[in-house]
Amino acid sequence: MNTLKLPAWMSGMKGGANALAAPILIILLLSMMVLPLPAFVLDLFFSFNIALSVIVLLTSLYTVKPLDFMAFPAILLVSTMLRLSLNVASTRVVLTEGHTGGAAAGKVIEAFGHFLIGGNYTVGIVVFIILTIINFTVVTKGAGRIAEVGARFALDAMPGKQMAIDADLNAGLVGEDEARRRRTEVAQEAEFYGAMDGASKYVRGDAVAGIMVTVINVIGGLLVGVLQHDMSFADAAKTYTLLAIGDGLVAQIPSLIISTAAGMVVSRVASDQDVGSQLVGQLFAKPEVLYITAGILGGMGLIPGMPNFVFLLLAGSLAGCAYLIKKRAAAPKVDEAAAAAAAAPATTPEQEEASWQDIMPVDTLGLEVGYRLIPLVDKTQGGELLKRIKGIRKKFAQEVGFLAPPVHIRDNLELKPSAYRITLKGVEVGTGEALNGQFLAINPGMASGTLPGFVTTDPAFGLPATWIDASLRDEAQNMGYTVVDAGTVVATHLNHLITTHASELLGRAEVQALLDHLAKDAPKLVEDLVPKVVSLAILQKVLQNLLVEGVHIRDMRSVIETLSEYAGQTQDPNELTAVVRVALGRAIVQQLFPGTNELSVMTLDNRLERLLMQAMGQGGDGAGIEPGLADTIAQQAGAAAAQQEQMGLTPVLLVPGPLRALLSRFLRRALPQLKVLSHNEIPETKTIRVTSLVGAPS
């Protein structure tokens, strides 16, 4: 079947049609100010102006978030220019043809001048002034103030939001595309509120211009009618005032509708519901409020002289609504205890014999959640935690160098409703609480002020934190807090524990899969090492030794080449680990000191170094270190590491090669953040700067 394709020039015309729409519209608006328009065309444009304002208002009501209507500031400007152009065009028609009758300026102006205000120009003037005051002093001024404050808060919150996006990206919770989309959304939000702040000035100016144009039309009409058309002052005043007021009302009513739409857009709070759903869902949510209101109205309806029927009718309607809402809320709900009992396996009088099928395999990684956290892991309820866990495993594989086992997720009714726990080979390694629907404001050490909410600590890193409502999210970010949702809290904790226990996740199956993957590119290299030179168990132990100290194993080619060279001399995994670390020295240093050639490190005092070397010679593995010396080393190393962290530096202790493994094992439990390097692992291109000495006399 042949496919009909448009010629290139026709496709270009089709794509450029939308681009030409804005210039054509602006030229049309400017032409209306210069060229005379017949009455019928004026009616058409006035009707279009009213329809446009209603469309904009309804669109703002059904908008979920402000950025869904990003074109609003431009529409605000275009609609203002349209009203001003119509004012100029209608003024020309009113002053030139107004003496012939009310229909001279078109049916729309005549209808607004006669039917809406009853043909009474005094009433028309009062109505016009009231509409202008409402538009100028109430709606437009309030919307402009909200847009101004919103623009200021959006700009102040930009750094915190950007840092939160970068933190999610670094933790593997989001990908590059999602992070780029979020950054664009943050920038667009600030630009939107800034544009709304400026665009609101157009509406205020339009209100002032409407008053001035109406006054000028009245005065000009009197002069034209009396001096040029020999009309009496009373007839001229009535005719031209009605036309001027009708013209003003035709412009002010759409202006008021557009101003209301602007207020709706900038005053709504971020939610996943439109304005109508929020009003109905929140204003009539509590039957107690409706009962009290019905009682007050009923009492007022019993007062003599009041409109008793109206008050009693409203009181009865509100009481009926409250009864229906309360009845609906009291519908039978599933009891938690009954649900737990239903979830338990049913027992029968005669149990089957035990079999090998009763032995369930232990999950390498497990995540158990309370029943309130089930929506986080349920795709049907919009939970994104499963997607984030996939991102964590992918980022872990890219950075560390092997694929972590999948995370098995299940609900656990024995946990607290908002609690979760993370297991490694069936053993709990982490636990915490996450309040679904709320946000955790974490103090990274630079936040100012306190927030109302449930005070706790960040389960991943132990930082002080507070669970807050969604309405306080922007305020917390402006105060310097890092704000994350419940799913991010669980995902970050899981990511931290996976990284911490990476060595325990590297089993024989993972090592074999790693070799199989490498064998696709270098089959001979893998074949010559395992099992000819070293066994799979020794290779696994070497890789685990590297992971225990946070060294990534992405460069498996260097690991295998080094083992192939030195495995013939020794089969000790610790000695092989030492030579592999030297081969990976450049990568280790880059991991600890990214983007710098100067390494700020701590070192041992010469006397302490000699004592430790003697202890190594006596005890072999350092068992000869006396307890007093060991305590002194731990205390001074901890103080020096804290000083390094206060200076914004990575705490690294540089020692001779024979002492590295000893001090690393000794200090790892007390100071997990401290990394121990040997002189052999430092590349020659790097410059060493000693910041403190451990063991120096005070």
The per-residue pLDDT for range 280-289, each reduced to its tens digit, is 666 777 788 8
Any bridge partners for residue 408, and if so which? 366
**Is the pLDDT reported for residue 342 higher than 60?**
no
Residue 4: band (very low, low, confident or very high) from pLDDT cuts 50, 70, 90:
very low
Whether the CB-CB separation of 70 and 274 falls below 8 Å is answered with: no
DSSP letter at 469? -
- Identify whether residues 560 and 667 lie together within a single domain: no
**CA–CA gap between residue 680 and residue 563 (Å, rounded):** 17
79 or 509: which carries more pLDDT confidence? Answer: 509
pLDDT 10s digits, 295-328: 888 888 888 877 778 778 888 888 888 888 887 7
- What per-residue confidence (pLDDT) applies to 370? 92
Residue 41: band (very low, low, confident or very high) from pLDDT cuts 50, 70, 90:
confident
- What per-residue confidence (pLDDT) applies to 408? 92
Q: Considering 521, 554, 583, which residue would you say is the last residue of a domain?
A: 583
- What per-residue confidence (pLDDT) applies to 202? 72
Average pLDDT score over residue span 407-427:
92
CA angle, corner 7, sides to 3 and 9, nearest 5? 155
Sorted by sequence, the CB contacts under 8 Å of residue 273 that are 6+ apart come out as 64, 281
Which residues in 209-221 are b (16+ Cβ under 10 Å) and which e? bbbebbeebbebb
Full residue range of the structural domain in which residue 252 is found: 36-272
Residue 1: band (very low, low, confident or very high) from pLDDT cuts 50, 70, 90:
very low
Nearest-CA neighbor of 62 among 208, 273, 324, 233? 273
Residue 510: band (very low, low, confident or very high) from pLDDT cuts 50, 70, 90:
very high
Q: Cα separations (Å) of 334 from 140, 285, 331, 340, 436? A: 49, 21, 10, 10, 20
Number of domains in the chain: 5
Q: Is the peptide bond before 672 cis (omega within 30 degrees of 0)?
A: no
Residue 689: band (very low, low, confident or very high) from pLDDT cuts 50, 70, 90:
very high
Nearest-CA neighbor of 77 among 25, 40, 19? 25
153 or 18: which carries more pLDDT confidence? Answer: 153
**Is the pLDDT reported for residue 569 higher than 60?**
yes
**Is the pLDDT reported for residue 345 higher than 80?**
no
Q: 603 lies in a domain?
A: yes
Average pLDDT score over residue span 55-72:
78
Average pLDDT score over residue span 359-378:
88
**Is the pLDDT reported for residue 28 higher than 70?**
yes
Q: 382 lies in a domain?
A: yes
- Identify whether residues 491 and 531 lie together within a single domain: no
CA angle, corner 515, sides to 512 and 518, nearest 5? 155
Residue 386: band (very low, low, confident or very high) from pLDDT cuts 50, 70, 90:
confident
The mean pLDDT of the chain is 81
Nearest-CA neighbor of 367 among 340, 381, 343, 388? 388
Nearest-CA neighbor of 473 among 257, 197, 206, 161? 161
CATH number of the domain at 573, please: 1.10.8.540
623 or 113: which carries more pLDDT confidence? Answer: 113
Q: Which of 256-260, 387-391, 537-541, 593-597 has the lowest mean pLDDT?
A: 256-260
- Identify whether residues 452 and 578 lie together within a single domain: no
* Alpha carbon of residue 543 to chain centroid: 38
Residue 368 in tokens: 């158990």
pTM summary value: 0.54
- Identify whether residues 511 and 496 lie together within a single domain: no
- Identify whether residues 113 and 63 lie together within a single domain: yes
Name the amino acid, one letter, at 4. Answer: L
- Identify whether residues 250 and 173 lie together within a single domain: yes
Q: 2 lies in a domain?
A: no
Q: 671 lies in a domain?
A: yes
**CA–CA gap between residue 37 and residue 31 (Å, rounded):** 10
DSSP letter at 195? H
- Identify whether residues 66 and 169 lie together within a single domain: yes
**CA–CA gap between residue 163 and residue 235 (Å, rounded):** 70
112 or 393: which carries more pLDDT confidence? Answer: 393
Name the amino acid, one letter, at 384. Answer: E
The bridge status of strand 407-411 relative to strand 365-369 is: parallel
Q: 338 lies in a domain?
A: no
- Identify whether residues 431 and 313 lie together within a single domain: no
Average pLDDT score over residue span 181-185:
83
Residue with tokens 């202006």: 255
pLDDT 10s digits, 647-685: 888 999 999 999 999 899 889 888 888 999 999 999 999
- Identify whether residues 119 and 229 lie together within a single domain: yes
- Identify whether residues 426 and 474 lie together within a single domain: yes
- Identify whether residues 157 and 49 lie together within a single domain: yes
Q: 26 lies in a domain?
A: no
- Identify whether residues 527 and 538 lie together within a single domain: yes
Cα Rg of the chain (Å, integer): 38
Range among 165-174, 306-315, 538-547 with highest mean pLDDT value: 538-547
CATH number of the domain at 464, please: 3.40.30.60
Q: Considering 473, 503, 533, which residue would you say is the last residue of a domain?
A: 503
- What per-residue confidence (pLDDT) applies to 552? 94
Q: 515 lies in a domain?
A: yes
Residue with tokens 């030579």: 579
Range among 33-37, 366-370, 620-624 with highest mean pLDDT value: 366-370
Name the amino acid, one letter, at 288. Answer: E
Percent of the chain at pLDDT > 70 equals 85
280 or 94: which carries more pLDDT confidence? Answer: 94
**Is the pLDDT reported for residue 346 higher than 90?**
no
Q: Considering 554, 583, 612, which residue would you say is the last residue of a domain?
A: 583
- What per-residue confidence (pLDDT) applies to 670? 84
Residue 534: band (very low, low, confident or very high) from pLDDT cuts 50, 70, 90:
very high
Q: 10 lies in a domain?
A: no
* Alpha carbon of residue 147 to chain centroid: 20
